Chains A and B, each alone.
Chain A
Amino acid sequence: MQRGMAAAVIVGILCSVVGCYVVVRSMAFLGDAMAHAILPGVAVAYLLQGNLMVGALVAAIAVALGIGFLSRSGMVREDTAIGILFAAALSLGVALISSIQTYAVDLTHILFGNVLGVTISDLWLTGGLALFVLALVFIFFKPFLVVSFDPVLAATLRLPVELLRNLLLILLALTIVVSLQAVGVGLVAAMLVTPGATAYLLARRLSTMMIWAGAVGGFSSVAGLYLSYYANIASGAAVVLIATAFFLLAFLFAPRRGWLWRLLKR
């Protein structure tokens, strides 16, 4: 339980902070697609008896770069490219999994997460990767800010726009893979978007938005795990439900941007 709690908090904070970019850059659909695109990678890794996390990471990065390639040619729009690759990868994953005779426990855990099954070496890996991603987000804060807010200024200031975009996609892929064990494929996208969206309603700046998001994500993980323990429901679902409750609170009562504020101002 303690290890599970630690893993959940790390993942909650990591997803939420990286998710701020997902929210401000309108990449929610992309995040969802990458999470699902992980399935075939995991299935192949399982069939080859390799490391599931490595398989997942390879698949996520392949899909991210594939979407970039398809949409850059200009022949299809980006959301169309995402839709195609998302469905294809998901189908491939389901096909591969259904060919596996024994429905292994490991695979269902990839789908829905199993935070209580976290081993001590899992915890080290999760913590190490999370620290790595967060460090890069911190170091590259200014270039990422300019590339996200104003790509034209980024080009004027001679920033490598394409490179930074791909780096951001790789960080997103890493975040999703690290989070699989705690919340599973189905719910990673929610942890990427919901705390970030909550923080968006509360903050005026990207930096404070990230702090708010991390706080909401981390607290949702703790509260969600307690909820799952006492109400006996799936842990990933409990965490996401708590995060959603926070979003609703912010949506209704956030100063300046909340529904109630706007109602009173009118």
Chain B
Amino acid sequence: MAGHGSSTAALLEASPGGVSEEPARLLLDHVNVSYGGVLVLEDLSCQIEHGDQVAIVGPNGAGKSTLFKALVGLLPLRSGRILIHGLPLGHHQDCVAYVPQREEVDWRFPVTAREVVMMGRFRRIGWLRRSRSLDEEAVQRAMHQLDIADLSSRPIGELSGGQQQRVFLARALAQEPHILLLDEPFTAVDNPTQEATLSMLDQLQRAGVTTLVSTHDLSLASERFPRVMLLNRRLVAFGPPALVFRPEAIRRAFGGQALFLDGAVVVDQCCPPGSHEDHGVKP
């Protein structure tokens, strides 16, 4: 644990998070990520503490999903590094769980809700072994918690949009991660699912899980999250909502999409085509 001390110290200057003696749970150090030859994330540095909950906001194309894909090791870093518990990506096998955006899932795949949740345990079970009762219990618990235990043998394609999302949340729970990434979990879901998601986040916070949530919902971000990351290909601001959501920061992140009336800020975030598509979500 001695090797990374100097790097943490060097980064503290850039990080607005404050001084901490403990190694950060998640540390981004001058991270550059490109996607399809285009640099999407530029020189991103920040330190996210153990058990923190961060809402990631920014306009479309700001690099929110790209950041997540880099965090799970799906996109290589062009330069810089990402440290989890002071060690680079890949050292901790089961550490990061990722709940994808709905559009990234093939809902016609022949797989039941329970099977999807069990996939979160595959790494622990071992790829070539059968599941143990320990894993069965973890799956059962996760499904109970998200109130989908009675759907376990249903194919995922027959579930409603909110139920589908809860299946993926249960999978993330069953994975027992240290860091949880949720990509747009509040887009196009019903109210019960949004509440289930938020209460799951509360519970995970008590368990010390670090959570990063990307969202378009700025008021939700400011009301329900202790920390906000404002992103527009670069880090615009990072800290408590009251400090982040200031007119100049919002203008820098959203540019012409933000409109400033006296005392009020209006942000027009037209969602990308397709993100409001009906996937069986009941209004």
Residues of A bordering B, CB below 8 Å: 24, 74, 139-140, 142-143, 145-146, 148-150, 152-153, 155-159, 200, 203-206, 209, 256
Contacts and interface: CB of A to CB of B under 8 A. Distances in A.
B110 A155 contact: no
Nearest to B75: A155
B119 interface: yes
Nearest to A210: B110
A146 B111 CA distance: 10
A152 B72 contact: yes
How many B residues are at the interface, by size bracket?
Answer: 20 to 34
B105 A150 contact: yes
B73 A204 contact: no
Interface of B: 36, 69, 72-74, 90, 93-94, 96-98, 100, 104-106, 109-112, 115-116, 119-120, 122-123, 127-128, 153-155, 158, 171
A148 B109 CA distance: 9
A209 B96 contact: no
Given A152-B98, A156-B97, A157-B122, A74 B110 contact: no
A205 B111 contact: yes
14 contacts: A24-B109, A24-B110, A149-B111, A149-B116, A152-B100, A153-B98, A156-B97, A158-B73, A158-B90, A158-B123, A159-B127, A204-B110, A204-B153, A209-B110
A206 B111 contact: yes
A24 B108 CA distance: 8
B24 to A, nearest CB: 21
Given A74-B36, A153-B98, A146 B119 contact: yes
A152 B96 CA distance: 12
Given A146-B122, A150-B100, A155 B111 contact: no
Contacts of A140: 127-128
Nearest to B101: A152
Contacts of B90: 158
A74 B155 CA distance: 34
